[in-house]
Amino acid sequence: MNRILKAGIFQFSLLLISCGLFAQSVSWEAQLTRNDGNNIRFTFDWKTVKGKNIWVIRNASEKITVDNITVEGDSLFVQMPVFESQFRVKKTGHKLEGTWIKGGAVKTTILPFMAVPGINRFEAKNKAVKNISGRWAVNFSASKASELSVAEFKQTGNKLTGTFLNATGDYRYLQGIVTGDSLLLSGFDGGHAFLFTAKIETNKKITAGKFYSGAVYNEDWKAVKDATVKVPLESVAMYVKPGEESLHFTFKDLNGKPVSITDDRFKNKIVVIQLMGSWCPNCMDETAFLSEYYNNNKQRGIEVIALAYEYSTNWERSTRSLKKFKDRYDVQYTILNTEVTVTDSLRTEKTLPELTPIKFFPSSVILDKKGKVRKLDTGFNGPATGVHYIAYKKEFEETIDELLKEH
């Protein structure tokens, strides 16, 4: 019998069920089922607060609260707090079964979903023979040799957490195990659905790596330990074109009102332009950071404008998804819908023609008090990257502080 199902049968007797709803906090082992059998596992807690169903999805130290859950008979409709992502499930015997549905630029991803009560996404059958804590230089098979990624792992016994960083950002919070000479890591946040596997040859060499994402994507990877490796950024850099120094744009806010960078409210202020999309998990982390920073610093003469590049030019679809971002992170700064899709090959020319191509999301542009471009950043090191996130915040804050001193 499948281990995850046996665990569910054993623990299901602990559940208290009232009118089809779970009346106490219970941990669940969940998986998204791929056709190739490389299923993506994650864990969540299900509890009721004042009669309201809440899921808390856990990835390492991250906890994602999901409170938009509706019940219709024996069916649950679970809407993720950001992204076009939801679960539609039913209780079948000792488990939940249904589908995970995620909207995309071209097609909608639909994967079978199942969950049973339990606390472990992976089972460590053997004692870890190696400890891989530290920094690693990673080569993914689809990447150019010069475009290395970096992995950072923290291992305690069989338990493993970490993330991968590349020039555009990071793979967010990953959680798993080392069992014998093998590693298993996964993460699910509503946008990302990741599984990493590999063989640990030595304390300094990882081989036979496989990276699985979503319904079908897979890629080989390998790594060597290297405490000094850095992510190369040259290939994703963005610049101001020769002869240009300022931006000129007007787009609609989420209420349909035109907003221009030349509006009075942005004059004589430091303006951070966030290039983002509501489909983008790293943009979620950047939005959380910028929202908190703006709310704490706007009185100093700082403004933030988010320019959104969505999956679709459909206004209702795009603004509905962007409003989820706004509500989730209490965004008080301006969000504008460019009405240009992220997949549009002319997205830069149509929105910010003063810049060289926007290669990745999120990216950011910082303007000084005179409206001149002073700094461009591609990618974002989120909180899952630890010291890199701290370093990013420090550099960002120092840049703003210096620009504020200028007359």
Based on the domain organization, do 328 and 367 belong to the same domain?
yes
Regarding predicted confidence, which is higher, 171 or 50? 171
Domain for residue 210, yes or no? Answer: yes
The pLDDT of residue 4 is 42
Lowest model confidence (mean pLDDT) among 3-7, 66-70, 102-106, 240-244:
3-7
Model confidence at 15: pLDDT above 80: no
d(CA 391, CA 223): 24
The pLDDT of residue 51 is 87
Average pLDDT, rounded, for the chain: 92
Of 41, 3, 383, 30, which is closest to residue 195 (Cα–Cα)? 41
Based on the domain organization, do 315 and 249 belong to the same domain?
yes
Based on the domain organization, do 306 and 354 belong to the same domain?
yes
Model confidence at 2: pLDDT above 80: no
H or E element in which residue 72 lies: strand 68-72
How many folded domains does the chain comprise? 3
The pLDDT of residue 18 is 35
Question: The domain that contains 337 carries what CATH number?
Answer: 3.40.30.10
Based on the domain organization, do 314 and 384 belong to the same domain?
yes
Model confidence at 14: pLDDT above 80: no
Domain for residue 231, yes or no? Answer: no
Of 157, 164, 208, which is closest to residue 186 (Cα–Cα)? 164
H or E element in which residue 294 lies: helix 281-297
DSSP secondary structure string for all residues of 171-199: ---EEEEEETTEEEEEEESSS-EEEEEEE
Based on the domain organization, do 9 and 108 belong to the same domain?
yes
CB neighbour class for 91 (10 Å; exposed up to 12, middle 13-18, buried from 19):
middle
Model confidence at 383: pLDDT above 60: yes
Model confidence at 190: pLDDT above 90: yes
Lowest model confidence (mean pLDDT) among 8-22, 216-230, 391-405:
8-22
Based on the domain organization, do 218 and 254 belong to the same domain?
no
The percent of residues above 90 in pLDDT, for the chain, comes to 84
The pLDDT of residue 236 is 82
Which residue among 225, 251, 276 closes a domain? 225
Based on the domain organization, do 251 and 396 belong to the same domain?
yes
Domain for residue 379, yes or no? Answer: yes
Model confidence at 27: pLDDT above 60: yes
Of 333, 337, 361, 356, which is closest to residue 266 (Cα–Cα)? 333
Domain for residue 127, yes or no? Answer: no
Domain for residue 287, yes or no? Answer: yes
Lowest model confidence (mean pLDDT) among 25-29, 243-247, 380-384:
25-29
Residue 18's domain comprises: 3-117
Q: What's the Cα-to-Cα distance from 241 to each of 270, 310, 338, 356, 405, rounded to whole Å?
A: 21, 25, 21, 6, 26
Domain for residue 126, yes or no? Answer: no
The pLDDT of residue 279 is 96
Based on the domain organization, do 211 and 82 belong to the same domain?
no
| pLDDT tens by residue, 302-353 | 999 999 999 999 999 999 999 999 999 999 999 999 999 999 999 999 999 9
Question: The domain that contains 95 carries what CATH number?
Answer: 2.40.160
Please report the beta strands in 262-301, taking only residues with DSSP state E, as ranges in sequence order.
Answer: 270-276
404: number of Cβ within 10 Å: 15
Question: The domain that contains 216 carries what CATH number?
Answer: 2.40.128.20
Model confidence at 16: pLDDT above 50: no
Based on the domain organization, do 100 and 144 belong to the same domain?
no
d(CA 280, CA 109): 15
